Structure 1
Amino acid sequence: MTQTKIQPETPTCNGPCCKAARKYCAHRDATVEQTWPGLHETVLSWGPLPRNVTSLPKRIMSEREIVITEKTPETLVAELAQGELKSVDVARAFLNRAALAQELVNCITELLPDEALQRAQQLDDYFQAHGKPIGPLHGLPISVKEHMAMKDKTHDAGWCAWAERRAEENSHILDILWNAGAVFYARTTQPQALMQLETDNNLTGVTVNPFNRDLTCGGSSGGEGALIGFRGSCLGVGTDIGGSIRSPCANQGLYGLRPSALRLPLHGKGAIMLGNESILGVIGPMSTSLEGVKLFVKTILAAKPWLREPSLLAMPWRDDVSHFPSQNDRPRIRVGVMWNDGVVQPHPPIRRAMETLVQKLEKVDGVELVPWKPYKHAEAWQIISQLYYVDGGATLRQTAAESGELVLPMTEWILSQNKNNGRVLTPSEIWTLTRRREAYRMEYADHWNQTATETGDEANPVDVILCPAGPGAAPPHGHARYWTYTAVWNLLDYPAMVFPVTAVDPELDQPAVDFMAMNYEDEWNSRIYKPELYADAPVSLQLVARRHQDEKVVEALEYLQQYF
């Protein structure tokens, strides 16, 4: 048993940041109390909490609420569309579980009980009057990362200086989800500056992992990851510029898609880096099921978002035909297997997950496994870490200074990775870095093409890459310092899908006695792994396809996971 502190002591200073944090958390706590009166005192009465809190809903929630909240998105929308479930009942169940999630892992910025239940009742009334759902997401509760604008709600992106800022309109993607029948009921936490693979900010404190509270939930969509992992949500909206969907999904054993840039609508995000197009962030789904990911993306693209947001590709979801050639009535899939990225070797649980899947896929007719050699992933990190902050971090520090808030350690860490030493780059220096980015993309494409010629099959290079989603399972707080397993695909703009495989087993996942570090980063990563510390942490892997082959990576996972 342990009692991990997830929120700092109530700020007692009178500075702007402390005042903002007190007011912000008071509002959040009021929405939890409104949703479930007396819940906070009940949880306090339990005393010290276990590290793994995922079983605690059964201690306090009704059996019907447990059943509803543990259904997948596709099951919920099917039952809602048939009238087997009421939208109000589903919304209330998820509100309650989200309230409990907040008490246990600190993942909520605010709950929306009035709006959600009113919306759900409207949907029930519509169904009763018309005998059919209002849209493909009729009555489905969807949680939303806070920095996605929601009209008249906070739009702070984790900054004290922005705590009073309100959105004037909804994000484009939220309008589409609403028109499809979604119910918005929970808004979730994010880290300072949205640039951590953990979730900690000076407004709400640290969000922890429900499977092991001594480990991070990931970031920057960490509140979403923790909430969905706790089953306080089944489908949520995340964003990703270096792993921010895939990190929390991997850490909580969820499905998460980092789509190619400019496939899904971006309008309405809040961040200090808006306008920096050197590395484009993306919006994507986080879900308890692969089908939930597909449901999300297909619903968004069916609305033709490029008609409103002209920067988007006018590319519908293309799943009407297979992206793999048939062979004896089976798809033929060539999978590149990347055991490590040539810089940092993953921890034993990741290696075990890779070995388990490879052994199973080796026996599948129509699946060919091809060794994948990582191509200059260290260089990829050098390029992308500089492109993140072409202003040398000046805007970040200015935003922090506006309220007097501290720049947190993991924010300082990502700034330290920028080799510009805090300088604002000149236009010519930015152009030089952009040329390096494009050269790397060309070189990686050529590297991918070589997977065909090296095997004597020029018509069929590797279809997808199977690789780790990170250098380990969810790390301890303050230790998510290696991004390259996810960030390299952001630099290349390759679609990448994270999916669950297993969980850390301290007996099976002992450190290798013959481990030899390849460099300082590899040595550092190996030192933080202690099997008992990581107990119960989900273990996930990643599939990657070429740019704009989002449908292909989803189809590949659909087929391959039959054999996992």
Structure 2
Amino acid sequence: MVTDWKSLATAKRDAILNSIPENWRLPKIPSAEEQKDVTGPYIQQFLDKKEVEITETDAVGIAEKVAAGTWSAVDVTQAFCHRASLAHQLVNCLHETFFDAALADAKALDTYYAEHKKTKGPLHGVPVSLKDQFHVKNVETTMGYVGWIDTFEGKKGDSRQKTYESEMVRELRELGAVLYCKTSVPHTLMSGETVNNIIEYTWNPKDRYLCSGGSSGGEGALIGLKGSPVGFGTDIGGSIRIPAAFNGLYGIRPSAGRLPYEGMANSMDGQNSVLSVVGPLGTSARSVTFLVKSILSQSPWLYDPLVMEMPWRNDQYQRVWDRVNSPTGELTFGLMRTDGIVNPQPPVARAVEMVVQAVEKAGHKVMDWKPPAHAEGLATTFNTWMYDGGKDVHSAFALSGEPMSQQVKMTYGTEPKPEKTASEIAQNNVAHRQWKKQWMDAWNATASSTNTGQPIDCIIAPLAPYAAARPEKYKWYAYSAFVNGLDYTSVVVPVTYADKSMDKYEEGYKPMNENDQAAYEDYDAEIYDGAHVAIQLIGRRLQEEKMLAIAEYIGQILGKESIP
């Protein structure tokens, strides 16, 4: 039954704000014109010295401090609950808070530590934020849909409502993590901007004229404001990597079947041609590695039927470090400056060149890479999102009668389209597999051009044509989505900041086509000035350990990641 969606959305929006303790409320929220950048000194002014120290320590550092007894889990949790509250007021990044439950869990962890003189697990006392696809006991999951309020995934009276937990939530608790909030998403999850009718728009904390990315945009914004040291998002077309890139973070898109997705809410559940995957975002590369390694220690293949029995392979991780620390340990990188359809905007193009210069200076080889059958592969990937003609997402909107955001309407239109037949799906799957084989063959063929006699180690590429998009202007997903189509491993590495004095199109630049024209017209050097800029490192399927090590190494030679 369709209800008054505006009243429901307003009540939910107010409830999120009212869950923030009164003494953590800001008296005034500045406009973007008044305060473009709310990171760093701006948000620090509302915190005490110890809170700043705690919240500006990465997940690995927090775990070490708590394990040493220097910090209590309660103090750490309190600090991050406070900073997360500030972050939400500034950029609209939270869907749910459960601070009291988090503090109770932290207190129990401190008691355990006092009694046993050891930690419960490697994540003991580390606050972890979650994208609002995770089910957590006594906490609602709306996934940005008004029609999901006070339901279980849109179903009224379902016994699982607020009693059910996703598999990874159980594992994080076993590891000693403290869960305390769930972050905003675009309704449907299918957008590079985070917007819905409940919290409205999630802004980029570094540049509040721009978006925080999507669909894990709340995670990106929250961690970017250091309201969380590390959190989990999901990625079917770039939804971990886009927010990581736009907020100056590291983030990994693992291959399907590596980390547990069991028991999470989702759109288009049952579409298995291109699977959504779950992975962490964090303020340091080593923190992302720490989270992946910790989750794999829980043997998730015993609890999620789609997870492969593949423990953390430290030999593959260590092999990268052995190579780069050896006089003859050259790495070889493919370089994808452009996908040939839409060129990256000037800040992104400069970031790519900065990485190339850094790796060449460090003694590694870079060779040009042109993506095989790029347009054809994109078509087979994008087709998978419309197997049901949009029936799933349109049905979710129909629960409340709420309107679809313009960002999502670009994909799904105003009404469902005809569903694909089994034969049409099979035909697309065949074409998709053939495209994957083209990539495999092309990658293998690079062995004849490297100094090592082995194929390239990974590809340096833009993650998006934009440093971060302006509202309703994220229109080109090809740089991120082709990786999902291939099911390759990809890690985002922050590189620099947009600079209006340096980042300009060449005089007389002529866009290649309508899509490139749109990206060209979107760019405004003044608006983008100061925004985070990142690249992605693309490895082959199931190369998580190798790619995390390379990302850490690239972070080090760029001066973004300290050497342990």
Task: Give the TM-score normalised by the residue count of structure 2.
Answer: 0.93
Task: State the match for 1:8 in structure 2.
Answer: none
Deviation, 1:40, is: 3.4
Question: Given that residues 248 and 494 in structure 2 are in contact (C-alpha distance below 8 angstroms), is that contact kept between their aligned partners in structure 1?
Answer: yes
Question: Given that residues 464 and 545 in structure 1 are in contact (C-alpha distance below 8 angstroms), is that contact kept between their aligned partners in structure 2?
Answer: yes
Cα distance in 2 for partners of 1:290, 1:79 equals 18
1:28 to 16, 22, 25: 16
Question: Given that residues 344 and 471 in structure 1 are in contact (C-alpha distance below 8 angstroms), is that contact kept between their aligned partners in structure 2?
Answer: yes
Question: Given that residues 98 and 139 in structure 2 are in contact (C-alpha distance below 8 angstroms), is that contact kept between their aligned partners in structure 1?
Answer: no
Cα deviation 1:237-261 (Å, max 9, x = unaligned): 1000000000000000100000010
Choose 431-440 or 327-336, whichever is displaced more. 327-336
Flag the 1:41–1:355 CA change in 2: closer, same or farther, 3 A. closer
1:17 aligns with 2:5: yes
Task: State the match for 2:157 in structure 1.
Answer: none
Deviation, 1:402, is: 1.8
Question: Given that residues 192 and 242 in structure 2 are in contact (C-alpha distance below 8 angstroms), is that contact kept between their aligned partners in structure 1?
Answer: yes
1:152 to 121, 138, 149: 138
DSSP-derived class of the 2:365 partner: strand
Choose 82-91 or 266-275, whichever is displaced more. 266-275
Question: Given that residues 69 and 232 in structure 1 are in contact (C-alpha distance below 8 angstroms), is that contact kept between their aligned partners in structure 2?
Answer: yes
Question: Given that residues 296 and 312 in structure 2 are in contact (C-alpha distance below 8 angstroms), is that contact kept between their aligned partners in structure 1?
Answer: yes
Task: Give the TM-score normalised by the residue count of structure 1.
Answer: 0.93
Cα deviation 1:76-96 (Å, max 9, x = unaligned): 100100001011111111000
Question: Given that residues 197 and 402 in structure 2 are in contact (C-alpha distance below 8 angstroms), is that contact kept between their aligned partners in structure 1?
Answer: yes
State the 4+ residue runs in structure 1 displaced beyond 3 angstroms: 38-41, 44-49, 321-330, 456-459
Cα distance in 1 for partners of 2:457, 2:173 equals 35
Cα distance in 2 for partners of 1:53, 1:457 equals 46
Task: State the match for 2:285 in structure 1.
Answer: 290
Cα distance in 2 for partners of 1:85, 1:330 equals 43
Cα distance in 2 for partners of 1:311, 1:423 equals 29
DSSP-derived class of the 1:223 partner: helix
Task: State the match for 1:164 in structure 2.
Answer: 150
Deviation, 1:277, is: 0.6
Letter of the 1:529 partner, please give it.
Answer: Y
Deviation, 1:421, is: 8.6
1:257 to 244, 252, 265: 252
Letter of the 1:407 partner, please give it.
Answer: M
Question: Given that residues 493 and 555 in structure 2 are in contact (C-alpha distance below 8 angstroms), is that contact kept between their aligned partners in structure 1?
Answer: no
Choose 318-327 or 435-444, whichever is displaced more. 318-327
Q: Mapping of 1:273-422 within 5 angstroms? A: 273-321=268-316, 322-324=318-320, 326=323, 328-329=326-327, 331-365=329-363, 367-415=364-412, 422=417
Task: State the match for 1:68 in structure 2.
Answer: 54
Letter of the 1:242 partner, please give it.
Answer: G
Cα distance in 1 for partners of 2:416, 2:305 equals 36
Cα distance in 2 for partners of 1:191, 1:49 equals 26
1:462 to 456, 473, 489: 456
1:42 to 12, 27, 33: 27
1:546 aligns with 2:535: no
Letter of the 1:563 partner, please give it.
Answer: I
DSSP-derived class of the 1:543 partner: strand
Choose 302-311 or 314-323, whichever is displaced more. 314-323
Task: State the match for 1:10 in structure 2.
Answer: none
2:126 to 135, 140, 149: 140
Q: Identity across aligned pairs (percent)? A: 36
DSSP-derived class of the 2:496 partner: strand
Deviation, 1:212, is: 0.8
Task: State the match for 2:65 in structure 1.
Answer: 79
Deviation, 1:511, is: 2.2
Letter of the 2:106 partner, please give it.
Answer: A
Flag the 1:47–1:452 CA change in 2: closer, same or farther, 3 A. closer
Question: Given that residues 129 and 228 in structure 2 are in contact (C-alpha distance below 8 angstroms), is that contact kept between their aligned partners in structure 1?
Answer: yes
Structure 2: unaligned runs, 5 residues or longer: 152-160, 559-564
Cα distance in 2 for partners of 1:361, 1:489 equals 22
Flag the 1:45–1:385 CA change in 2: closer, same or farther, 3 A. closer
Cα deviation 1:181-217 (Å, max 9, x = unaligned): 1001111100010100110011211100000111000
Cα distance in 1 for partners of 2:543, 2:30 equals 51
Deviation, 1:330, is: 5.1
Cα deviation 1:376-435 (Å, max 9, x = unaligned): 22222211111112011122112211211101111111226x9x9922111000100111
Deviation, 1:110, is: 2.0
1:120 aligns with 2:76: no
Cα distance in 2 for partners of 1:100, 1:21 equals 21
DSSP-derived class of the 1:356 partner: helix
Flag the 1:127–1:368 CA change in 2: closer, same or farther, 3 A. same
Letter of the 2:437 partner, please give it.
Answer: M
1:51 aligns with 2:36: yes
Deviation, 1:150, is: 0.8
Matched residue pairs, number?
544
Flag the 1:534–1:45 CA change in 2: closer, same or farther, 3 A. closer
Deviation, 1:157, is: 1.3
1:98 aligns with 2:84: yes
Letter of the 2:297 partner, please give it.
Answer: A
Cα distance in 2 for partners of 1:107, 1:53 equals 13
Question: Given that residues 343 and 377 in structure 1 are in contact (C-alpha distance below 8 angstroms), is that contact kept between their aligned partners in structure 2?
Answer: no
Task: State the match for 1:237 in structure 2.
Answer: 232
Question: Given that residues 358 and 557 in structure 2 are in contact (C-alpha distance below 8 angstroms), is that contact kept between their aligned partners in structure 1?
Answer: yes
Letter of the 1:51 partner, please give it.
Answer: K
Letter of the 1:79 partner, please give it.
Answer: K
DSSP-derived class of the 2:315 partner: coil
Cα deviation 1:482-523 (Å, max 9, x = unaligned): 111110000000000001000011111122214222211111
Deviation, 1:457, is: 6.2
Letter of the 1:448 partner, please give it.
Answer: W
Cα distance in 1 for partners of 2:500, 2:327 equals 42
